[in-house]
């Protein structure tokens, strides 16, 4: 009786192995045409993804860019050969504002990356019912302009990184973009 069960079980396993290992079984690949004509505004992002709790006004000359592993939104602006990269990302509030500014200073070889000294360069920006922390860091060849906005349990980071001359050219538009932030 036991031998009959084992024989039946082995027959089923052999049959499954033969059926599942056919040579013509292959990976099927499907292509779906994407909708690249869609323009993502903050309203579309908020209604579809609910991940960004702010509204803002994006300058018309900025182009939507590919996100990296940290950014929620990204744009490029300026000359095609040396564009500025503008990103929005969020961090846990425990990350702290001063350490972020210190990290940025290190990225562009700013004269100091001491967080306490960098905080003396910070300007408060009133954004309606919230405040941002604005900083300008000019390194030997690159500049980072940025604002960090504490909101709930997160720090929202808005950053422009570019060659010095490009950042100077885009500074007014970027500052206007940062000052246009509203919760909602």
Domain assignment present for residue 126? The answer is yes
Residue 1 lies in a domain: no
pLDDT at 39 over 70: no
Count of domains observed in the chain = 1
pLDDT value of position 21:
53
Closest CA to 143 of 123, 166, 125: 166
- Grade residue 63 by pLDDT with cuts at 50, 70 and 90: very high
pLDDT at 1: 59
Q: Give the model confidence (pLDDT) of 115-172 as tens digits.
A: 889 999 999 999 988 999 999 999 999 999 999 999 988 999 999 999 999 999 999 9
Q: What is the CATH number of the domain that holds 75?
A: 3.40.1000.10
> Is 27 a domain residue?
no
Does the pTM surpass 0.85? The reply is no
Structural domain contains residue 104: yes
**Does residue 35 form part of some domain?**
no
Whether residue 61 lies inside any domain: the answer is yes
Range of the domain at 155: 42-183
Q: How many residues does the chain have?
A: 184
Averaged pLDDT score across all residues of the chain: 84
């Amino acid at each position: 009786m036991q031998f009959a069960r084992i024989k039946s079980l082995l027959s089923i396993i052999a049959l499954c192995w033969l059926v599942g290992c056919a040579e013509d079984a292959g990976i099927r690949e499907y292509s779906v045409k994407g909708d690249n004509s869609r323009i993502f505004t903050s309203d579309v992002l908020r209604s579809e993804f609910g991940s960004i709790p702010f509204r803002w006004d994006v300058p018309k000359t900025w182009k939507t860019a590919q996100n990296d592993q940290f950014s929620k939104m990204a744009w490029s602006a300026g000359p095609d050969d040396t564009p500025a990269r503008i990103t929005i990302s969020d961090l846990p509030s425990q990350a702290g504002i001063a350490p972020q500014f210190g990290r940025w200073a290190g990225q562009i070889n700013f004269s100091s990356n001491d967080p306490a000294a960098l905080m003396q360069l910070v300007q408060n920006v009133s954004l309606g019912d919230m405040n941002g922390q604005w900083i300008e860091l000019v390194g030997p060849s690159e500049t980072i302009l940025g604002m960090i906005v504490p909101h709930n349990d997160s720090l929202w980071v808005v950053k422009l990184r570019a060659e010095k001359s490009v950042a100077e050219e885009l500074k007014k538009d970027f500052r206007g973009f940062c000052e246009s932030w509203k919760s909602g």
